[in-house]
Amino acid sequence: MTRRLRSPAARFSLFAIPAVILPAVILAILGYHSLRQWQQSADTLFRAQTRDLAIMTAEKLTMVLRAAEDESLARLQDVLAGPHPTQEAVRAFIAATPLIQGLALFDAHGKPLYAPIGRGVESRFFPAFVRELPPDRWTRPAARHLAVEDHVIILAPIPKGLGGEPLLAALSVDRQALRRELLEKTLAPLEGPAIPVVVDAQGHAVYARAPVEGAAPIVTVPLGGALPSWQLALYHPPDALPGRAVRRQVILFSAVFGVLLVVIVAGLGATYRLVRRETEMAELKADFVANVSHDLKTPLALIRMFGETLELGRVPNSATRQEYYGVITRESERLSRLLDNVLDFSRIERGRRTYRLVPTSVSPIIHEALESFAYVLGQQQFTVKVVVAPDLPEVPLDAEAVRQALANLVDNAIKYSTDRRVLQVEGVVRDGQLAVSVADEGIGIPPEEQGRIFEKFYRIGRSDTQAKRGSGIGLALVRHIAEAHGGRVSVDSQVGRGSRFTLWFPLGTDAAAGTEPSSGTARGVTRGADSHH
């Protein structure tokens, strides 16, 4: 039992899907995942770096602020420890210290020494100041910071105040000076695209290096003790965000992958076509071998049968004997025609077929070709019409090859005729060419098949064709022969009405130029013919 092979398409998809499509899909998924991971880690790294930068910047700000504070407090100490620590001296201190805009002094019991000077230390804030004072206010020399409304207050103990008594100073920080002298000087030269923004306890931006409307901060860190509840936020200009770069990569990756996919699909398509063509060719070749073998077998069997009968002397009369001899001759002729076809075809395939073009009259060739079919034509009661113009010029021909081509055309005309058995052979000069046509009134050829019948091994897959034996190389040979003569073969056919095949041969150089054909031209031209695939 033989199992029919799967169609090439099915086999191909069986191979293509796991071998090509699947890896492509896996690659796409992996690529997408790694891009996503890359995007995530780039994002994490970016945030971590930004946070580090923010923390460092905040520390730096605090340091600068403390240094300025310490310097101011040291001068205040000097003023208060001086010989005349008057209100005027304190005013002079405030005037000389841009960072401080107001000052109030308290004695060891929390009592204000005199009315507050400057802004930000109004007496209504005093309870808040005192509440903030730790019990060990005098022994701890470090300053404390306090946010009251939108003021930043420094609460600093002055160990040796008036007359050596400890004092407590509440200094109000000037926001404008803070921004100008400290924030701007520290933050403006910050490197990188990050935009630092300092936000006060109420959430108002005190300083921003660049406008950041609508954007969300990447990180926000507290500014620490020196500016209580203040924060440093870092923003990023949108086109410097790593997400952008990653998105660009994703687009690039997708584009490249898309192109790759198109190439793969195109490659698959091409491979599929190739596989299909090869499979078809393999099938055609297999059919060819079967057909040729069968075509060889039938005449051989006949020859043998009639030969044996004759040999045994069992034939009653000489007329029958004569008929048997006739059968043997005809079948041998059929055999040699078939073998000629196959041998020539194989020569063509190997590029070995050569043609000897000699100026020849076509009329005898036509008659010779018909001669070998005389018996069959008679037996099948064909009406044969031969019209050959009497004044046909001699044209460069390979007589044997042209006879073979005509024999193939006549063979087809006989094979593919059914009830209307008419064979018409014509030789004329038309359109400056010698046209030899073989016409029948047989089954005809559908238009879509008319191009393919000249391909090697091709036979029309209709039941009425398949019923006739044939190897499918006849018309391939005809075309090759016509082209080797510098001519061509044309077909004109209608299904059910009949077919006309015409061989067109150029008349030779002089004739083509419109003068009488000269027998001298093209004498002995031998053309090597290319094989057709």
CB of 457 to ligand ATP, least distance (A): 8
Across the strands, what pairs with 434? 429, 505
Interface pick for ligand ATP out of 465, 490, 518, 521 (rule CB under 6 A): 465
CB of 446 to ligand ATP, least distance (A): 9
DSSP at 518: -
Tokens (6 digits) for 260 = 């790759």
Q: Which among Mg ion, ligand ATP, none contacts residue 359 (Cβ within 5 to 8 A by kind)? A: none
Are 187 and 196 contacting, i.e. CB atoms less than 8 angstroms apart? yes
Helices within 313-398 (DSSP H only): 318-349, 362-371, 374-379
Tokens (6 digits) for 344 = 């020539």
Per-position x/- string for 498-517, each x denoting binding to ligand ATP as judged by CB under 6 A, each - no binding: -x------------------
Distance of CA 163 to the CA centre of its chain: 91
Across the strands, what pairs with 22? none
CB of 310 to Mg ion, least distance (A): 31
Tally the residues of the chain: 533
Interface pick for ligand ATP out of 327, 460, 512, 525 (rule CB under 6 A): 460
Q: Which among ligand ATP, Mg ion, none contacts residue 442 (Cβ within 5 to 8 A by kind)? A: ligand ATP
Nearer of residues 231 and 499 to Mg ion, judged by Cβ = 499
Neighbours of 422 (CB within 10 A): 15
Nearer of residues 204 and 468 to Mg ion, judged by Cβ = 468
Q: Which residues bind Mg ion (CB under 5 A)?
A: 412, 474
Neighbours of 10 (CB within 10 A): 10
Q: Which among ligand ATP, Mg ion, none contacts residue 106 (Cβ within 5 to 8 A by kind)? A: none
CA–CA gap between residue 491 and residue 439 (Å, rounded) = 10
CA–CA gap between residue 208 and residue 211 (Å, rounded) = 7
Nearer of residues 175 and 334 to ligand ATP, judged by Cβ = 334
DSSP at 266: H
Q: Which among Mg ion, ligand ATP, none contacts residue 416 (Cβ within 5 to 8 A by kind)? A: ligand ATP
CB of 417 to Mg ion, least distance (A): 13
Which residue has the closest beta carbon to Mg ion? 474
For 186, 202, 233, 300, the CA distances from 211, given in Å and listed in that order, are 18, 19, 13, 102
Among 100, 117, 101, 105, CA closest to 65: 100
Indicate the SS3 state at residue 231.
strand
- Residue 78, H or E segment: helix 22-81
CB of 477 to Mg ion, least distance (A): 9
Q: Which among ligand ATP, Mg ion, none contacts residue 196 (Cβ within 5 to 8 A by kind)? A: none
Indicate the SS3 state at residue 98.
coil
Stretch that binds ligand ATP, among 27-35, 135-143, 313-321, 464-472 (CB under 6 A): 464-472
Nearer of residues 394 and 426 to ligand ATP, judged by Cβ = 426
Q: What is the 3-state secondary structure (H, E, C) of 113-174?
A: CCCCEECCCCHHHHHHHHHHCCCCCCCCCCCEEEEECCEEEEEEEECCCHHHCCEEEEEEEC
Stretch that binds ligand ATP, among 157-165, 226-234, 253-261, 453-461 (CB under 6 A): 453-461
Query: Please, which of residues 272-311 interact with ligand ATP by CB under 6 A?
Result: none
Nearer of residues 69 and 331 to Mg ion, judged by Cβ = 331
Nearer of residues 102 and 474 to Mg ion, judged by Cβ = 474
Q: Which among Mg ion, ligand ATP, none contacts residue 471 (Cβ within 5 to 8 A by kind)? A: ligand ATP
Please calculate the CA angle 389-393-396 and round it to the nearest 5 degrees. 125
CA–CA gap between residue 123 and residue 116 (Å, rounded) = 7
Query: Please, which of residues 369-388 interact with ligand ATP by CB under 6 A?
Result: none
Q: Which amino acid is at 470?
A: G
Q: Which among Mg ion, ligand ATP, none contacts residue 460 (Cβ within 5 to 8 A by kind)? A: ligand ATP
Among 459, 120, 431, CA closest to 284: 459
Residue with tokens 């405030």: 94
Among 170, 528, 223, 110, CA closest to 353: 528
Interface pick for ligand ATP out of 116, 299, 396, 470 (rule CB under 6 A): 470
Query: Please, which of residues 225-254 interact with ligand ATP by CB under 6 A?
Result: none
Which residues lie closer than 8 Å to 88 by C-beta, 6 or more apart?
none
Query: Please, which of residues 392-451 interact with ligand ATP by CB under 6 A?
Result: 408, 412-413, 416, 440, 442-445
CB of 510 to ligand ATP, least distance (A): 34
Interface pick for ligand ATP out of 54, 158, 436, 473 (rule CB under 6 A): 473
CB of 479 to ligand ATP, least distance (A): 9
CB of 458 to ligand ATP, least distance (A): 6
Q: Which among ligand ATP, Mg ion, none contacts residue 437 (Cβ within 5 to 8 A by kind)? A: none
Nearer of residues 175 and 459 to Mg ion, judged by Cβ = 459
Query: Where on the chain is the footprint of ligand ATP (CB under 6 A)?
Result: 341, 408, 412-413, 416, 440, 442-445, 453, 458-460, 465, 470-476, 499
